[in-house]
């Protein structure tokens, strides 16, 4: 049991849904490269939190046009992946955006009823001075960001500053590092506190070997962020990285036909 104890909430179900894939070498995944540099692909996920009368989608992936433009392999639109878990995007009330990079915030228009939960610092970063530098701006899609600005003017962005509970046993935590306003999601489950790290840790290896991912706003914050994730989660096995293909190997599918597509994260890993 973590220092935060047990909340007055029923355990949530938590799912990862894979929607895309990118073949690459390890050197692309670590600041300073990798001396062996073998294949080390990334998978792309959206996540679903369900329970206590709540339905929360975490991140929205990208669409076919973005996949083509950025040469990523789109396997299914995230909306179609969520439908396999009986989620209708058109009615989802809450979407947490861990940050506004292109692979986390496409498809907003497919969630017409949603409020988008975002850190103040992420909106400031994505609309501010650093975007003029390719090393910070290249992972943002300007139309995605403008879409969020429009949503803010319509009152559809719920801004958060730091750590905030958005439901019983469900909270957002500013981490920073990868981007200025990156946030992680902490969820109460039947195996304890699970933390959806998103890109606070792209891969288990970034965190376990203390080797930062090369797209980074602040290296010190990123490294401090791994410690914060460990404080928030009941164990390192309760931290879910944002892009690691091992997630679908380690966690069982919600139904046999969803093997390789989706995983249950609120149950113990199978390996």
Q: Is 234 in the site for Zn ion (CB under 5 A)?
A: no
Q: Which stretch binds Zn ion (CB under 5 A): 11-19, 192-200, 229-237, 253-261?
A: 192-200
Dihedral pair phi/psi, residue 240, rounded to 5°: -110, 110
Q: Select 189 or 198, whichever has its Cβ closest to Zn ion.
A: 198
Count interface residues toward Zn ion (CB under 5 A): 2
Residues in the chain: 271
CA–CA distance, 109 with 107 (Å, rounded to integer): 5
Q: Which CB contacts under 8 angstroms, 24+ apart, belong to 250-257? A: 251/16, 254/15, 254/85
Degrees to nearest 5, angle at CA 263 with 67 and 59: 45
d(CA 3, CA 42): 33
Binding part of the chain for Zn ion, among 82-90, 112-120, 195-203, 248-256 by CB under 5 A, reads 195-203
- Dihedral of CA 246/50/121/115: which sign? positive
Q: Contact region for Zn ion (CB under 5 A) — 54-62, 63-71, 186-194, 196-204? A: 196-204
Nearest approach, Cβ of 102 to Zn ion (angstroms)? 8
Q: How far apart are CA 210 and CA 154, in angstroms?
A: 41
Name which of 122 and 199 has its Cβ closer to Zn ion: 199
* Of 43, 59, 94, 103, the one binding Zn ion by CB under 5 A: 103
- According to CB under 5 A, which one of 94, 199, 234, 266 is a site residue for Zn ion? 199
CB of 137 to Zn ion, least distance (A): 15
Beta strands per DSSP E along the chain: 13-22, 42-51, 54-58, 73-74, 94-96, 115-119, 157-160, 163-167, 170-174, 183-189, 192-198, 239-241, 262-264
Nearer to Zn ion, 103 or 266 (CB): 103
Tell me the window of 49-57, 79-87, 109-117, 191-199 that interacts with Zn ion (CB under 5 A).
191-199
x-or-dash string of contact with Zn ion, 63-102, rule CB under 5 A: ----------------------------------------
User: Which residues contact Zn ion (rule: CB under 5 A)?
Assistant: 103, 199
């Amino acid at each position: 049991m973590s220092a935060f104890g047990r909340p007055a909430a029923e355990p949530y179900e938590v799912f990862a849904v894979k929607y895309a894939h990118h073949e690459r070498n390890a050197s692309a995944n670590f600041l300073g490269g990798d001396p062996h540099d073998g294949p080390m692909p990334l998978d792309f996920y959206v996540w679903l939190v369900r329970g206590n009368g709540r339905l929360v989608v975490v991140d929205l992936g990208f669409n076919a046009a973005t996949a083509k433009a950025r040469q990523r392999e789109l396997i299914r639109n995230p909306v179609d992946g969520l439908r396999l878990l009986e989620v209708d995007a058109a009615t989802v009330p809450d979407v947490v955006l861990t940050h506004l990079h292109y692979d986390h915030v496409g498809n907003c228009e497919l969630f017409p009823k949603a409020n988008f939960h975002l850190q103040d610092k992420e909106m400031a970063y994505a609309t501010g001075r650093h975007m003029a530098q390719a090393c910070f701006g290249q992972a943002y899609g300007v139309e995605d960001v403008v879409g969020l600005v429009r949503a803010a003017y319509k009152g559809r962005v719920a801004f958060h500053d730091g750590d905030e509970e958005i439901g019983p046993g469900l909270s957002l935590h500013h981490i920073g590092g990868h981007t200025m306003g990156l946030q992680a999601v902490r969820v109460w489950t039947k195996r304890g506190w699970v933390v959806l790290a998103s890109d606070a840790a792209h891969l288990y290896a970034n965190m376990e070997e203390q080797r930062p991912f090369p797209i980074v706003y602040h290296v010190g914050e990123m490294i401090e962020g791994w410690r914060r994730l460990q404080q928030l989660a009941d164990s390192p096995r309760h931290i879910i990285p944002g892009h690691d293909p091992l997630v679908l190997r380690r966690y069982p599918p919600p139904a046999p036909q969803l093997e390789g597509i989706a995983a249950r994260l609120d149950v113990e890993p199978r390996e």
